Amino acid sequence: MYSFANDYSEGACKKVMDALIESNTVQTPGYGVDMFCRAAADIIRKKTACENIDVHFIVGGTPCNILAISLLRSHEAVICVNSGHINTHETGAVEATGHKIIAVKGVNGKITPEEIRKAVSLHTDEHMVKPKMVFISDATELGTIYTKDELKQISDTCRELGLYLYLDGARLGNALVATANDLSLKDICALTDMFYIGGTKNGALFGEAMVIRNDALKADFRYLEKQRGAMLAKGRLIGVQMLSLLEDDTYMNNARNANVMAQALRYIFNQAGIRMYVDSPTNQIFPVISNSLLRKIQAKYIVTPWQKFDKKHTVVRFVCSWATTKTAIQEFYNDLITYVNEK
Amino acid sequence: MYSFANDYSEGACKKVMDALIESNTVQTPGYGVDMFCRAAADIIRKKTACENIDVHFIVGGTPCNILAISLLRSHEAVICVNSGHINTHETGAVEATGHKIIAVKGVNGKITPEEIRKAVSLHTDEHMVKPKMVFISDATELGTIYTKDELKQISDTCRELGLYLYLDGARLGNALVATANDLSLKDICALTDMFYIGGTKNGALFGEAMVIRNDALKADFRYLEKQRGAMLAKGRLIGVQMLSLLEDDTYMNNARNANVMAQALRYIFNQAGIRMYVDSPTNQIFPVISNSLLRKIQAKYIVTPWQKFDKKHTVVRFVCSWATTKTAIQEFYNDLITYVNEK
Amino acid sequence: MYSFANDYSEGACKKVMDALIESNTVQTPGYGVDMFCRAAADIIRKKTACENIDVHFIVGGTPCNILAISLLRSHEAVICVNSGHINTHETGAVEATGHKIIAVKGVNGKITPEEIRKAVSLHTDEHMVKPKMVFISDATELGTIYTKDELKQISDTCRELGLYLYLDGARLGNALVATANDLSLKDICALTDMFYIGGTKNGALFGEAMVIRNDALKADFRYLEKQRGAMLAKGRLIGVQMLSLLEDDTYMNNARNANVMAQALRYIFNQAGIRMYVDSPTNQIFPVISNSLLRKIQAKYIVTPWQKFDKKHTVVRFVCSWATTKTAIQEFYNDLITYVNEK
Amino acid sequence: MYSFANDYSEGACKKVMDALIESNTVQTPGYGVDMFCRAAADIIRKKTACENIDVHFIVGGTPCNILAISLLRSHEAVICVNSGHINTHETGAVEATGHKIIAVKGVNGKITPEEIRKAVSLHTDEHMVKPKMVFISDATELGTIYTKDELKQISDTCRELGLYLYLDGARLGNALVATANDLSLKDICALTDMFYIGGTKNGALFGEAMVIRNDALKADFRYLEKQRGAMLAKGRLIGVQMLSLLEDDTYMNNARNANVMAQALRYIFNQAGIRMYVDSPTNQIFPVISNSLLRKIQAKYIVTPWQKFDKKHTVVRFVCSWATTKTAIQEFYNDLITYVNEK
């Protein structure tokens, strides 16, 4: 069984693995205050063109989101789209820190300034939570990406309304190398208050780099990191991996492979007359597949049924990663042709 | 300015006030373990025809809801309609205890078995919260009430799906005396796992009686009560008031006055050609009023603009209580006729 | 059975009760934004000689403490003495809001600058909580009081170390009218960041007045109040009571009666050769009583065994209040003489 | 600078590293439901002689402790010694989940049945938290270990009093291979309700194996794991490492090296006339060193000043691990002789 189920089915890309091996016996202080973490932070400062950021290396994406939102006071709430990861797939992690999520309608997984304004306008007094942060992800949970203009407008709206803008970058690489993308890491940093660069889904064994640009959010972050169990004893492991990914083009190349492979799958589906549920330019695609075809595919491939489309069709998620090979795609192509022709 | 803003604008009804005065110098133990609380609990046992319930006297409605939901484990969530009080007007009190609210579509403020089933079916694994409680209110936040058949179906659905059913009875009296109502206090107790009989909005200075029928929810409730700051030092005050309200027909009579006065207002609006946003048989009504008429009304009356209806109209909430007088209704009638004729 | 068990065995003092009756049918807005609350706040502004304070009317003492401590960030901790109410008798209410209590040794229930400094010096980095608030009570849980000099030193220490000083004033009246006291309400306000004036234990049915002097703690307090279930619908009830207590000398007179009666009890015990566990000048005294004598007393009086003293003696708490009468004290005197002579 | 600061200064032991490399490109499902995790769990079932346990692979020790304690209801508290890790070095992580720690006196870092009984006897009613779990660590934070008899007595006490017994096994290997130890993994499992086998400090890059024996604690653990951010996307990484450590004697051998090296250091200090603060048979030792000697050592070695001993001496922590070499110990010996003779 070959898996297109997600982008964390394998371990780390070769360069990251080599860096871990090479640094393995070096002694460093614990908890992320080592030279590898410092070097990785410095590279991120350069790539974001922002000397003044704080960078923290966190063990995973859910901990990042928990930490970001635990910066709020308890009556302050976070706005996100209905399909946002924190609203759907983190077992109430945000609420477990005491905060309400104000879920709003998204457009293909993306939030709009209008929905943000509406959410704020509906929360008028102390009998309601106070919206204070907007959560977005890029690429989104539906594989879509924000344009520079869209992000600029969201950012402007947040600043006007006194909201922090936090970006979940679990698949930031996939967004930044997408064909239609016009955002850079510098833009991301300048337009948000806080975001993270995802490692887990783009070539690391695990680990994300949290970037805090807004001074108001910087104080005592390491206390929260420890308190929430998100600080690794051997913190240097994340530094080593992030350094390895970001010191050259590895991070972008990994993401590019994921996108190219997924877009090849999309092309294959199109050839077979199968349409997409949403127009995603990144490494996740969502073909609408007849249930009979899906059963055939699932005999040989692991994929994720996303939601019911109609009685006879299902939206299915296919994900590619840095590890997906041309061979796998070619084989899937052959299989799909066979399955379709069997009808 | 006369207020139709809510049902807690005045203090307590005369009988309750007299009971407080009469018992004022009696010494009792603190924290609700006194003879008044015991007597009130016994009356509730009789009225619900359930000897086996636990009864606790809580300082207010939000504390009741906090306590009910804090009985869940942290990954367990509560399902309620979008318009549910815990979802809209308690400043994230539920989330502050660590729990997620799964908000679903309501029909005139009421939940349906279909929506409960759908919410459960969408929460399939440990990446999502686990629905474990259903929150309803009767009367609802829109003044509507559940029929016996509706509540029975909801109750059956909850038991089938392993969900606790909790009923917020802030306006339970108003529901039980509504013309169309076919539910009794016995039904409420038998069909839910836990509910509260609201005092604050029906003649008490403050205080609610929490009734726990399901044994699984009884253990250590008083610990939580103290921990959440919901246990009054002079707990007997709530016992005295509830005893006074429930030992005869005062509770129902108070509610009846509120309903009758509100329905008189509704009749008046109908006479003036003004329609209702929702068909409420209880003490809250929601006329759709032109903005110009609303301005005139607001010069002399305090009312609550509920939401925008269209560019020229607003949904306005009028609330009556045990304290609303015929004189006030008569005067409003005269004023409304005048305002309408001025056009 | 006559009760010396606590200072909340009865309802409210006559003046407060009359004020509640008189204001009962007046319509006011809910949730503490009414004219009575405003008037009570203004009186507190005068009595504290501080125009710039925020005043909130809270339903009880534990909610006050929950609210004060929920102003901290989650990694920030509160320092208090081992015997502090929040550490012993609030069922972990502070921890339930996510905060650690750093319990330190007290001297007769009072904290010292040395212990504060020590606690701060032991918390050096992000692997430990960060001390950020000091909790004291005056009178303390052992009935003792702070001198002006002591409070000044604690206050100076807190300001030097960047700690907020919060004072639990459940028995503030008893402290301020104690014979040895040299603190005024103005001093209390000037030397702390936040404190509350207790009503429940000094003549009100319930309710406390939270005073916030430090601007850094003021923002959005009402949001927290609502979220934690500490905001009463008929908030005006607390305003009415506080106004009644504070507009003249009633508050101080109530406290004075409590202290005088307790000190009379102390004199009686001394006459009978029974010594005190701690030297308390307020309304709580702690005689060390032989177990056989205690049994006799308990046949007619409700008192609280506080802790074992030795095999044959128990520390017992006797509490007087605004409601304790000379007759009760006289009768206890007669009984005690009888019991002692029976030996 | 050579570091004796802790047992997590290096990466992973060679066998673990090789296992990670070898399994790197294998596709597995995410979140710890893969074949490696299953195999590692099976080995733990064999080694504990308990088929019926649940095993979960958690990213680190603080997350393990957070998860264990989040199984309690919010008014339930955990008893541990003052020096317990959760009480001192986890930034209030336990309190951040809403639970109070009842800190009691330890004997050389170990809890006693007497202290457990005393803590329970002092918590008598609903105004206090309810003790429900006992937290111990083996080896303790002071390097000491429990004997079988001691653990048996603690376990019996807990069962008698209705308390869960949870054991933090961050350094469980070091305890089990200590010369004086008479406990086996089977004993640990049989005598506790829940414990974890630490990987981070004994040869893994990171990761711990949580073992739940008591059925009452098993339900929905994975929900909490996800909610608290403790579930790794590539969960198989912990399975791979634990499998590698436990499938043969690697885990015990790693721990043995750590202990032997630390005991060699202890011998060296003894030879130099330097005494120990506590008698530790494991991989942490605590010599009492003069401040002048400490300064010399710190010029070349990284060690942890643990606490002031007196004006002229400091208790210093030296830690060895699987990675500590004979060469390092030999060199330290030579240096110490030199430093001491310089005087």
Task: With a cut of 90, say whether residue D300 has pLDDT above it.
Answer: yes
d(CA B95, CA A96): 7
d(CA A208, CA A230): 11
B51 — contact with chain D (CB < 8 Å)? Answer: no
User: Roughly how many angstroms between the first and final C-alpha of chain B, as a whole number?
Assistant: 23
Q: Range of B236's domain?
A: 14-246
d(CA C31, CA C48): 24
Q: Tell me the pLDDT tens digit for each residue of A249-269.
A: 999 999 999 999 999 999 999
Q: Tell me which residue of C47, C326, C319, C40 sits closest to C170, measured CA to CA.
A: C319
| Mean pLDDT over each residue of chain D, to the nearest integer | 97
A178 pLDDT tier (thresholds 50, 70, 90): very high
d(CA B316, CA B293): 11
Report residue B164: phi and psi, to 5°: -75, 145
Q: Tell me the pLDDT tens digit for each residue of B152-161.
A: 999 999 999 9
B88 — contact with chain A (CB < 8 Å)? Answer: yes
**What is the structure's pLDDT at A70?**
96
User: Roughly how many angstroms between the first and final C-alpha of chain D, as a whole number?
Assistant: 23
d(CA C2, CA B175): 43
- Angle at alpha carbon of residue C195, lines to C189 and C199, rounded to 5°: 110
d(CA C79, CA C134): 5
Looking at the fold, whether D197 and D84 belong to one and the same domain comes out as: yes
**What is the structure's pLDDT at B199?**
98
Final residue of a structural domain among D246, D269, D286: D246
Q: Tell me the pLDDT tens digit for each residue of C204-222.
A: 999 999 999 999 999 999 9
Chains within contact range of chain A (3+ C-beta pairs < 8 Å): B, C, D
d(CA B161, CA D85): 41
D33 — contact with chain A (CB < 8 Å)? Answer: no
Contact between A75 and C220 using a beta-carbon 8 Å cutoff: yes
| H/E segment holding residue A261 | helix A250-271
**What is the structure's pLDDT at D342?**
85
Q: Tell me the pLDDT tens digit for each residue of D34-70.
A: 999 999 999 999 999 999 999 999 999 999 999 999 9
- Residues 267-296 of chain B with CB under 8 A from chain A are none
**What is the structure's pLDDT at B290?**
97
Length, in residues, of chain A: 343
Final residue of a structural domain among A213, A246, A279: A246
Looking at the fold, whether C178 and C32 belong to one and the same domain comes out as: yes
Take residue B83 and report the two structure tokens written for it: 């318009």
Q: C295 exposed, middle or buried (CB, 10 Å; 0-12, 13-18, 19+)?
A: exposed
d(CA C172, CA C185): 9
Q: Tell me which residue of A31, A105, A95, A108 sits closest to A69, measured CA to CA.
A: A95
d(CA D68, CA D86): 11
Contact between D127 and C98 using a beta-carbon 8 Å cutoff: no
Q: Which residues of B touch A305 (CB under 8 A)?
A: none
d(CA C92, CA D28): 43
| H/E segment holding residue C334 | helix C326-342
Q: Tell me which residue of C53, C93, C47 sits closest to C210, measured CA to CA.
A: C53
Looking at the fold, whether A223 and A281 belong to one and the same domain comes out as: no
Task: With a cut of 70, say whether residue D343 has pLDDT above it.
Answer: no
Beta bridge partners of C76: C130
B75 — contact with chain A (CB < 8 Å)? Answer: yes
Which residue in this structure is represented by tokens 């709430």?
Answer: A77
C317, C298 in Cβ contact below 8 A? no
d(CA A12, CA C305): 65
Average pLDDT over residues C161-172: 98
Give the percent of chain A with pLDDT over 90.
Answer: 99
**What is the structure's pLDDT at A343?**
63
d(CA A320, CA D30): 15
**What is the structure's pLDDT at C342?**
85
Looking at the fold, whether D204 and D56 belong to one and the same domain comes out as: yes
Looking at the fold, whether A155 and A270 belong to one and the same domain comes out as: no
Looking at the fold, whether B54 and B140 belong to one and the same domain comes out as: yes
Average pLDDT over residues A330-336: 97
The CATH code of the domain that includes B301 is 3.90.1150.10
CB-nearest to C127 from D91, D96, D103 is D91
Report residue A290: phi and psi, to 5°: -65, 145
Q: Tell me the pLDDT tens digit for each residue of A264-300.
A: 999 999 999 999 999 999 999 999 999 999 999 999 9
Residues of chain B whose pLDDT is less than 50? none
Average pLDDT over residues D138-146: 98
**What is the structure's pLDDT at B342?**
85
Contact between C91 and B227 using a beta-carbon 8 Å cutoff: yes
Strands D288-290 and D313-319: antiparallel
| H/E segment holding residue A194 | strand A194-198
CA A249 to chain CA centroid, Å, is: 19
d(CA D156, CA D176): 21
CB-nearest to D24 from A6, A17, A66 is A17
Looking at the fold, whether C263 and C234 belong to one and the same domain comes out as: no
Beta bridge partners of B339: none
**What is the structure's pLDDT at C120?**
98
Looking at the fold, whether C176 and C225 belong to one and the same domain comes out as: yes
Looking at the fold, whether C242 and C256 belong to one and the same domain comes out as: no
Q: Tell me which residue of D187, D158, D164 sits closest to D175, measured CA to CA.
A: D187
Contact between B24 and C11 using a beta-carbon 8 Å cutoff: yes
Contact between C224 and A70 using a beta-carbon 8 Å cutoff: no
Average pLDDT over residues A88-104: 96
3-state secondary structure chain B: CEECCCCCCCCCCHHHHHHHHHCCCCCCCCCCCCHHHHHHHHHHHHHHCCCCCEEEEECCHHHHHHHHHCCCCCCEEEEEECCCHHHHCCCCHHHHCCCCEEEECCECCECCHHHHHHHHHHCCCCCCCEEEEEEEECCCCCCCCCCHHHHHHHHHHHHHHCCEEEEECCCHHHHHCCCCCCCCHHHHHHHCCEEEEECHHHCCCCCEEEEECCHHHCCCHHHHHHHCCCCCCCCHHHHHHHHHHHCCCHHHHHHHHHHHHHHHHHHHHHHCCCCECCCCCCCEECEEEEHHHHHHHHHHEECEEEEEEECCEEEEEEECCCCCCHHHHHHHHHHHHHHHHHC
Q: Which residues of C touch B61 (CB under 8 A)?
A: 233
Looking at the fold, whether D266 and D149 belong to one and the same domain comes out as: no
Number of domains into which chain C is organized: 2
Nearest chain B residue to A99, by CA: B95
Contact between B95 and A91 using a beta-carbon 8 Å cutoff: no
Beta bridge partners of B307: B315
Looking at the fold, whether C99 and C165 belong to one and the same domain comes out as: yes
C49 — contact with chain B (CB < 8 Å)? Answer: no
Q: Which amino acid is at D228?
A: R
B231 — contact with chain C (CB < 8 Å)? Answer: yes
The CATH code of the domain that includes B131 is 3.40.640.10
- d(CA B58, nearest CA chain C) in Å: 11
d(CA D12, CA D204): 5
D29 — contact with chain B (CB < 8 Å)? Answer: no
Q: Tell me which residue of D39, D237, D18, D26 sits closest to A9, measured CA to CA.
A: D26
Q: Tell me which residue of B77, B61, B70, B66 sits closest to B120, measured CA to CA.
A: B77
Looking at the fold, whether A230 and A327 belong to one and the same domain comes out as: no
Contact between D223 and B98 using a beta-carbon 8 Å cutoff: no
Task: With a cut of 70, say whether residue C183 has pLDDT above it.
Answer: yes
Q: Which amino acid is at C188?
A: I
CB-nearest to A93 from D59, D91, D227 is D227
Q: Tell me the pLDDT tens digit for each residue of A127-145.
A: 999 999 999 999 999 999 9
Beta bridge partners of A308: A314
Report residue B167: phi and psi, to 5°: -115, 125
d(CA A41, CA A56): 8
Final residue of a structural domain among B214, B246, B278: B246
- d(CA C231, nearest CA chain B) in Å: 9
Task: With a cut of 90, say whether residue D197 has pLDDT above it.
Answer: yes
A342 pLDDT tier (thresholds 50, 70, 90): confident
C343 pLDDT tier (thresholds 50, 70, 90): low
Q: Tell me the pLDDT tens digit for each residue of D203-227.
A: 999 999 999 999 999 999 999 999 9
